[in-house]
Amino acid sequence: MISTLVTMFWEMSIAILGKVAWKAVFERFYTRLVIYGLNKIKSMSTNDVVDDTVQDIINELKGKKLAVIDKGV
Protein backbone atom coordinates (compact mmCIF):
# COMPACT_ATOMS: atom_id res chain seq x y z
CA MET A 1 0.00 0.00 0.00
CA ILE A 2 2.73 2.48 0.96
CA SER A 3 4.72 1.51 -2.11
CA THR A 4 1.74 2.30 -4.31
CA LEU A 5 1.29 5.73 -2.70
CA VAL A 6 4.98 6.55 -3.02
CA THR A 7 4.93 5.54 -6.67
CA MET A 8 1.81 7.60 -7.30
CA PHE A 9 3.31 10.72 -5.69
CA TRP A 10 6.56 10.17 -7.56
CA GLU A 11 4.76 9.99 -10.91
CA MET A 12 2.65 13.04 -10.05
CA SER A 13 5.73 15.11 -9.20
CA ILE A 14 7.48 14.03 -12.40
CA ALA A 15 4.38 15.07 -14.38
CA ILE A 16 4.23 18.45 -12.65
CA LEU A 17 7.94 19.11 -13.19
CA GLY A 18 7.54 18.15 -16.84
CA LYS A 19 5.01 20.91 -17.36
CA VAL A 20 7.20 23.69 -15.99
CA ALA A 21 8.53 26.10 -18.63
CA TRP A 22 12.18 25.61 -17.69
CA LYS A 23 13.44 27.95 -20.40
CA ALA A 24 11.56 30.85 -18.79
CA VAL A 25 12.75 29.87 -15.31
CA PHE A 26 16.40 29.77 -16.41
CA GLU A 27 16.04 33.03 -18.35
CA ARG A 28 14.69 34.80 -15.27
CA PHE A 29 17.40 33.29 -13.06
CA TYR A 30 20.22 34.36 -15.39
CA THR A 31 18.73 37.84 -15.81
CA ARG A 32 18.62 38.28 -12.04
CA LEU A 33 22.17 36.99 -11.79
CA VAL A 34 23.37 39.50 -14.42
CA ILE A 35 21.53 42.35 -12.67
CA TYR A 36 23.14 41.35 -9.37
CA GLY A 37 26.59 41.43 -11.01
CA LEU A 38 25.90 44.80 -12.63
CA ASN A 39 24.80 46.26 -9.31
CA LYS A 40 28.02 44.93 -7.76
CA ILE A 41 30.05 46.67 -10.49
CA LYS A 42 28.02 49.84 -10.00
CA SER A 43 28.68 49.84 -6.25
CA MET A 44 32.45 49.36 -6.75
CA SER A 45 32.79 52.16 -9.29
CA THR A 46 33.09 55.87 -8.55
CA ASN A 47 32.66 56.79 -12.21
CA ASP A 48 29.26 58.38 -12.95
CA VAL A 49 29.39 57.28 -16.60
CA VAL A 50 29.78 53.65 -15.55
CA ASP A 51 26.94 54.03 -13.04
CA ASP A 52 24.63 55.52 -15.67
CA THR A 53 25.56 52.86 -18.23
CA VAL A 54 24.97 50.04 -15.76
CA GLN A 55 21.62 51.56 -14.78
CA ASP A 56 20.62 51.81 -18.46
CA ILE A 57 21.48 48.14 -18.99
CA ILE A 58 19.53 47.13 -15.89
CA ASN A 59 16.51 49.15 -17.02
CA GLU A 60 16.69 47.50 -20.44
CA LEU A 61 16.80 44.02 -18.89
CA LYS A 62 13.92 44.79 -16.54
CA GLY A 63 11.86 46.26 -19.37
CA LYS A 64 11.80 42.96 -21.26
CA LYS A 65 8.81 41.12 -19.87
CA LEU A 66 8.04 37.51 -20.61
CA ALA A 67 4.84 36.86 -22.47
CA VAL A 68 1.92 35.59 -20.44
CA ILE A 69 0.48 32.38 -21.82
CA ASP A 70 -3.29 32.19 -21.83
CA LYS A 71 -4.66 28.98 -20.43
CA GLY A 72 -7.17 27.26 -22.66
CA VAL A 73 -9.66 26.38 -19.97
Whether residue 72 has pLDDT greater than 80 = no
Cα separation, 57 vs 35, in Å, equals 9
pLDDT for the residue numbered 44: 84
The answer to the question of residue 14 being in a domain is: no
Mean pLDDT of 8-18: 87
Domain count, the chain: 1
Q: What is the mean pLDDT of residues 22-51?
A: 84
Is residue 41 a part of any domain in this protein?
yes
| pLDDT of 73 strictly over 50 | no
Expressed as residue numbers, the domain containing 49 is 21-66
On whether residue 50 sits in a domain, the answer given is yes
Give me the amino acid identity at 66. L
**Pure H helices in the chain:** 2-19, 22-44, 48-63
| 4 domain-assigned | no
Kindly state whether residue 9 falls inside one of the protein's structural domains: no
> Taking residues 2-28, what's their average pLDDT?
85
Examine the pLDDT at 54 and tell me if it is beyond 80.
Answer: yes
